[in-house]
Structure 1
Amino acid sequence: MSAPPTAPTVTPPARHAGVSALSLAVLAGPMSFGIAGPALILGEVAGGLGVSTGEATWLVTVFGWGIAVGTPLMSGLVGHRGMRGTVTISALLALIGAVLALVAPSLPILLLAAAAQALGAAGLTAIAMQLADSPRRMGVATASLAVVGSVSPLAGSLVSDLLSWRVVLALPVVAVLAVPAVLRQAVRSAPPPGRFDAIGVVVLTGLVTALVAVPHQPVAAGLCAVVAATALGIHLRARPAGFVPAALVRAPRFLGAAGLAFALAVGNFGLIYALPVRLSELTTWSSAQIGVAMVWPLLFGGALSWSVVAASARMRPRLMITALAATGVAAALAAAFTSWVPGLLVAQAAASIAAASGQGVLAVRATSAAPEEHRPAAIGLFTLCYLLGTAFGPAVVALTAG
């Protein structure tokens, strides 16, 4: 829903009362299909396109880039163009990307489809998080991402066997089913005064693009990231209330929450792609059996995260943050140093709990550190950091495995 014309950036709780928790879950959750759905079918994608598995992994990287760029972009558009316009644009991008995924004749076209679908899915997820005006409702949105992510590898394998790997790549479009419910509640609003910060959008997009490419081209992408970060710093001085508010960049609590969310996402999504390879080395399981084995730790972590996020409002923030960080570190160490199959599955469960719970808990903390007028930007930039982790994790695993 958009804000009243006289106060376009105010987000009182009553404003979202008509958007159900189910709609938030359907709006946010399907994005995870694009992140984790291809985990067990990259070989089939590679074979269908006549490319190597490493080249097919670019689909995951591009999807990660799209959701990372799209989240702050669409969050910014909510404040500039209103909820209805942003929802409509996001839904159209998701639909276009899904159609292209079903018919793309080559990898470059399929990468374009992944980018379009990711931008749309990112917009719908960002909107769901903006509509989540309490820890409990934020828990619904983030838990839906985790729960869908938990079944995505198995669902991707089964859908590929029954239909096609192309249908798997189109699954994020399911989020569009919740769009009518959101549009019924969204009211029209006049754009806020002031020019849209197009330069800020371009600079941030360049920075995100360079960061996503770092695992593939460390030197060149790293230099580009430094240049883009410098340009962003200069732009912040010239326009401190632009697309990237300087007040957020200078807020230690926001930066700490976003940084920890990034680290937890790297560990969780890296393990989602590393675990199938590791289990295939240690067992004689088929892809479907590996997918079934991975469901319970991921589903357990995703389901438990809703309770953790809801309970976080009654706990001391420092204790909760310490517990999340410790759980993430323990999961990474266990995955790195054990060859015991049950231990690997427990590590995946721990990583899932830490990342899914952390996204909700830390999102509340990050946005509470922002002035009310910067709340949409805070949600978008925080989620950008988390989603950068979803792009980094699989890319790092692919490089180390190769």
Structure 2
Amino acid sequence: MTSLLITNVRPYGEGEPVNVLVENGVIASVNAGADAQADSTLDGKGAVLLPGLVDMHVHLRYPGGEDAETIETGSRAAARGGFTAVFAMANTTPVNDSPVISEAIWHKGQQVGLCDVHPVGAVTKGLEGETLTEFGLMARSDAKVRMFSDDGKCVDNPRVMRRAIEYARGTDVLLAQHCEEPRLTEGASAHEGENAGRLGLGGWPRVAEESIVARDILLARDYHGRVHFCHASTAGSVELIAWGKQQGADITAEVTPHHLLLSDDLLDTYDGTYRVNPPLREETDVEALRRALLDGTVDVVATDHAPHTPEDKACEFELARPGMLGLETSLAIIAEIFVKGGLADWRWVAKVMSERPAEITRLADQGRPIAEGEPANLTLVNEDDTWAVDEAGFASKSSNTPYRGHTFSTRVAATVLRGEVTFAGDRR
């Protein structure tokens, strides 16, 4: 039997500090006495204790993109960000469109052992949008693939998407859609608005996202499959998702930290770091997304962690590869906006960053209550620990963070996966 005693922590940031005893990866007591003993001790120093965070949307670049990220560096970044499970998208080289690749990703993640890396299978072979992959074979593999997405590309053919929804329903897996009508975004690199027009950048219109959201709500409603909308970025998408849920469609949605914090005002720099897909929108969209996350229209926060090499970002804005780092700053941003801003409490943070993601992806051992008999997947958070973002200290192999120099006042102190400490930072 192995045991861990986590002292002086406040579950969900509530009440007086308690001691949490973990035995064999399971919470044995949430109020262990002062005389409790264990093989090892983790001093929480008054930290908030949350269930381990779950990220439904990351890019770890394995296989084929290890110059930007690896399973090990991505897992280390996830642990530093408080995550105990992440879902790695399929747009790798080769594409994850077979059980063999899915199992390679899963087993490598387990070998590293810092967080559970769940591979996301491609919806179509080679992300080409034509032929469906073998959902059933991948779901029954050792990797137990439970989510499929062509993220990076949209399944834009409605016939293919309909068939995917029907197949997904029969195999009880989740479809995650990257909502982008590609014929409306040719040559686009920034949000279609005043700033892009003034700067001479190709415009990415809201309708390119919203038209796919509307279409897939109807497909999910009529063909009874579970559809998840990746990185919602517009006020119009929020309105459509609310309407779709009223229609009884089995849909869910995510929003990224960068779409909750940043706007297209940053385009003035022409810095390729700020190029992302979907693009940074206007302040009105930012406010609508915050309200939608608070009221449950948008279900979860997902980072869309997208590491890139310096060569892929240090170029003209239009040529920069889209994507930003997110794993190591996500919790700090959500805490800054919602908890420090007085809009929500830590139980709400646990819901949108742990419980709902685990529920949507059907992870039985993640996002669980902090209670006796539950898996010890946990995150300790210092809610008064001011720090400035410096990518030189990141665990990620890449450095394309849009938050360079930003100061946050909340920081992950430690992460525990099945009773094993996977990250323990400076708990001042």
Highest CA radius of gyration, 1 or 2? 2
TM-score greater than 0.5 by the shorter chain: no
Q: Which has the higher helix share?
A: 1
* TM-score, with length taken from structure 2: 0.23
Q: Give the structure-1-normalised TM-score.
A: 0.24
**Structure with higher RCO (Cα < 8 A, 6+ apart):** 1
